[in-house]
Amino acid sequence: MKFREELKLYEQKMGKIRIKPSKDSITLISKHPLLIHILQYTYITVIDIYKFILQGTCGWSHLITEKRNLHDIKKYLTSEFSQQAKPRDEEKLFDLLNRSTEIGRLNLRVWKLRVNDKTDEIWNMMENVQQSAVCSLELFKKRFEEFGNFVNSKYIIIKEEEDIVQYESWFKFIIRLVSNAKSCLNLPLVSHSECFRSTYNPSYRLVFQKDIEKYL
């Protein structure tokens, strides 16, 4: 099987494996944004956690490509922002992804309702992440292995035995990719699972916690 096909197949499989925190994880939740995230978003899958870890350690610089420059990304922000409807009652303005990098997700719907209806400040905060975030492959590996340890220790539950087997194969696959990568920007990008998208309709941008703290 070709690499791209294998990657896509793994993404599809991991996008169907739901996870949840165990009762034993309650004592650890306050210390780990990843566990907080799983507790808050009950319709979450393995692939959503990979995206969580990648964004928290690498920011969004990987979105800049030969076919997509900063102007394109800014233009898309304006377009997406204009389409935002009223947020659900439980939605928060900011979800922290990583305590070390202080990168998190700014919810566009909540910003539009509670802060203002312009994107200038959001873009300034996004640029700050793009210019200042240190993309650490070692930090990604550390956080990814931490996730694996949570699963192995049953702090994060994968219910079906068949799903566990598929997850373990995928986990080893990602570890091999990390071993061969020169930076976390070489790691594969993924979309949110259909389960996560249909439930939460995620619409966010990555910013530093310190930049948005005054609004929290």
Tens digits of per-residue pLDDT, 4-32? 899 999 999 999 999 999 998 888 888 89
Domain boundaries, the chain: 3-215
- Rounded to 5 degrees, φ, ψ at 22 are -85, 170
What does the pLDDT read at residue 68? Answer: 78
pLDDT tens digits, residue range 40-95?
999 999 999 999 999 999 898 777 776 778 889 999 999 999 999 999 999 999 99
What does the pLDDT read at residue 31? Answer: 83
> What is the pLDDT averaged over residues 183-208?
94
**Residue 174 scores a pLDDT above 90:** yes
Q: Are 10 and 45 in contact (CB under 8 A)?
A: no
Instruction: Give the separation between CA 190 and CA 45, rounded to whole angstroms.
Output: 12
Query: Which token pair is 75?
Result: 């233009």
Minimal CA–CA distance to 75: which of 119, 128, 130?
A: 119
Instruction: Give the separation between CA 77 and CA 10, rounded to whole angstroms.
Output: 29
Task: Name beta bridge partners: 156.
Answer: 21
Residue 16: Cβ-neighbour burial (10 angstroms; 0-12, 13-18, 19+): middle
User: How many CB atoms are closer than 10 A to CB 104?
Assistant: 26
DSSP-derived letter for residue 24 is G
Task: Name beta bridge partners: 157.
Answer: 20
Percent of the chain beyond pLDDT 90?
81
What does the pLDDT read at residue 95? Answer: 97
Q: DSSP characters for 50-114?
A: HHHHHHHHHTTGGG--SS--HHHHHHHHHHHHHT--PPPTT--SEEE--TTT-EEEEEHHHHHHH
196 Cβ contact partners less than 8 Å away, ≥ 6 residues apart: 41, 43, 44, 45, 48, 202
| Chain mean pLDDT for the chain | 93
